[in-house]
Chains A and B, each alone.
Chain A
Amino acid sequence: MKVVSLVLTLALGALLLLATEDLPNWGDSDSPASLHLSNYYIENSMEQTSVPNLVTSVLADYRSYDTMFETTVIFCAGITVLTILRRSHRKKKKEVKPRPKGQDHDLILISAARMIAPMMQLFALYVVAHGHHSPGGGFQGGVIFGASFILLALAYDLETVLARLKERSVLIMSGIGVAIYVGIGTICLVLGGNFLDYGAWSKVLGVSVVEAHSHGMLGVEIGVAITVMFIMFSLYADLSSGGEMDEGL
């Protein structure tokens, strides 16, 4: 079985390598992307979406359909790790050597984590909200926010964080993130636009079509951030405790 999968993987890799032959060269000025697409984005992005950061407008508006499935991929990754690690029949308890009484929480670590975690969370919100104007956006802000929970889980232990952030709510929230994204796109359909055509939101929000594009992007970025943040923590919690959610590191 292993040999078969090895051969299959190698064959697929060889096929993909062969396929790269047909790709245009790196930075080729005659490639279709440089001839039509990039110029269009560069010339029209500002007046169509009023977002100065071109990366954000391409990622969250022009190629929003793509980003929606990127978010779904992250959601699937979290669910996959959970399904692989969580096996109900494997219930043998690990030998966990508890620390001596009074030493189970390190004062220095906890003090530093309590100082840094709120700053991280504030900065994560800034990165999400400021994605229109500076490098950043949903994915980056979500990762920073998720890392703040991981920091707390490292400084205290997994149980302390799970007591405040239930596993069930973590998974529900990561689904809600994807739902926000898809919901914003679907409401565009209801309002008479195309799927993920945020301009349709102008009827409800009472702003111009261009502004509606900008606000729609912020909305989907928030959805992305919620998914990434909770899946990040879910991945850490699963991997550090072998899917058991008991003790962890």
Chain B
Amino acid sequence: MLDSIVVILLSLGVVFFMGTVNGLLRFPDFYTRMHAAGKGDTLSSILILLGLALFTFHHPSVAAYLTGFKIIFIAVLVFIASPTATHALMDAGYEAGIEPWAGESDDNGEECR
């Protein structure tokens, strides 16, 4: 039972990571790419870390629970830090005057306005 939850969490995390990579490579401009990186990266990291934290419950002992607690703590840190870093990068890009994408893209990913 525990194993299946762990596997589901881990594979969901991998799926979201794939979406992140796809978005990072395929989206047309800086802002949309950062959007994919910020959202997908955070969610998939947290899913994978939660899966790993649950996995420590296999061997019920204080040391194992401590490891699980540390992993949860890392997840909280990622949850705060990753979106903030994305926001800071976006803000810096806006300050530097990067134009947001405003057109449609064809199949080759090239812009045609």
Contacting pair B81 A116 (CB below 8 A): yes
Cα A115 to Cα B81 in complex, Å, equals: 10
Q: Which residue of B lies closest to A115 (CB)?
A: B80
User: Is B84 positioned at the interface, with any CB of A under 8 Å from its CB?
Assistant: yes
Residues of B within 8 A of A109 (CB): 84, 87-88, 91
Flag if A112 contacts B91 (CB, 8 Å). Answer: no
- Say yes or no: is B77 at the interface (Cβ < 8 Å to chain A): yes
Q: Chain A 154-195, CB within 8 Å of chain B: the 1/0 string?
A: 100000000000000000000000000000000000000000
Residues of A within 8 A of B (CB): 99, 106, 108-109, 112-113, 115-116, 119, 154
Contact of B77 among A99, A116, A154 (CB under 8 A): A116
Give B contacts to A, CB under 8 Å: 77, 80-81, 84, 87-88, 91, 95
Task: Assess the A119–B84 pair: CB atoms within 8 A.
Answer: no
Contact (Cβ within 8 A) B91 A106: yes
Is A119 within 8 A of B77, CB to CB?
yes
| A108 close to B77 (CB less than 8 A) | no
Determine whether the beta carbon of A112 is less than 8 Å from that of B77. no
How far is B95's CA from A108's CA once the two chains are assembled, in angstroms?
A: 16
Which residues from chain A contact B81 at a C-beta distance below 8 Å? 112, 116
How far, in Å, is B107 (CB) from chain A's closest CB? 36
Chain A residues whose CB sits within 8 angstroms of the CB of B88 once the complex forms: 106, 109, 154
Q: Nearest Cβ in chain B — how far from A112, in angstroms? A: 4
Secondary structure at chain B's binding surface: helix, strand, loop or mixed? helix
- What's the Cα separation between A116 and B87 when bound, in Å? 16
CB closest residue in chain B, given A151: B81
A167 CB to nearest B CB, Å: 25
* CA–CA, A232 and B53, complex, Å: 34
CB-CB < 8 A to B84: which residues of A? 108-109, 112-113
Could you tell me the distance between the alpha carbons of A164 and B109 in the complex, rounded to whole angstroms? 49
Partner of A116, one of B80, B91, B95: B80
Other than the given A106-B88, A109-B91, A116-B81, 17 more pairs (CB < 8 A) read A99-B95, A106-B87, A106-B91, A108-B84, A108-B87, A109-B84, A109-B87, A109-B88, A112-B80, A112-B81, A112-B84, A113-B84, A115-B80, A116-B77, A116-B80, A119-B77, A154-B88
A126 to chain B, nearest CB (A): 11
Residues of A within 8 A of B87 (CB): 106, 108-109
Q: How far is the CA of A122 from the CA of B86 in the complex (A)?
A: 25
Look across to chain A and name the residue whose beta carbon is closest to the beta carbon of B76.
A119
Cα(A154)–Cα(B87), bound, Å? 13
- Measured CB to CB, the nearest residue on chain A to B85 is A112
- For A112, the chain B residues whose CB sits under 8 A away are 80-81, 84
CB distance from A122 to the nearest CB of B (A): 12
Per the bound structure, the CA–CA distance linking A154 and B88 in Å amounts to 10
**With A and B bound together, what is the CA distance between A106 and B80 in angstroms?**
15
* Minimal Cβ-Cβ distance residue in B for A109: B88
Interface centre among B80, B84, B87, B88 (most CB of A within 10 A): B84
The distance from the CB of B88 to the nearest CB of chain A, in whole angstroms, is 6
Minimum C-beta distance from A172 to chain B (A): 32
Within 8 Å CB of B91, what residues of A? 106, 109
